[in-house]
Amino acid sequence: NAKAVKNKGVNYRVITNPTDTLATDKKNQEDSVSLTTPEQIKKYKSSKDLKIYNSSETLYMEYNQTGKVKGLTNAKIREALNLATDRKGIAKSVSEGLDSAATGITPAGLALTSTGGDFAKAAAKATAYAYNIKKAKKLFAEGMKEAGLKKMTLTVEGTSDSTTSKSTLDTIQQTWEQLPGLTVKEKFVPFKQRLQDAA
Phi, psi of 171 (to 5 degrees): -65, -45
Residue 46 pLDDT greater than 80, yes or no: yes
Under the banding of pLDDT at 50, 70 and 90, the label for residue 182 is very high
Q: Has residue 152 been placed in a domain?
A: yes
Number of domains, the chain: 1
Report, as an integer, the average pLDDT of 46-61: 80
In tens, the pLDDT along 107-125 reads 888 888 999 998 888 888 7
In tens, the pLDDT along 65-83 reads 677 888 999 999 999 999 9
Q: Has residue 18 been placed in a domain?
A: no
Residue 18 pLDDT greater than 80, yes or no: no
Indicate which CATH number applies to the domain containing 86: 3.10.105.10
Q: Has residue 133 been placed in a domain?
A: yes
Range of the domain at 190: 70-198
Residue 126 pLDDT greater than 70, yes or no: no
Q: Has residue 88 been placed in a domain?
A: yes
Q: What is the 3-state secondary structure (H, E, C) of 19-39?
A: HHHHHHHHCCCCCCCCCCCHH
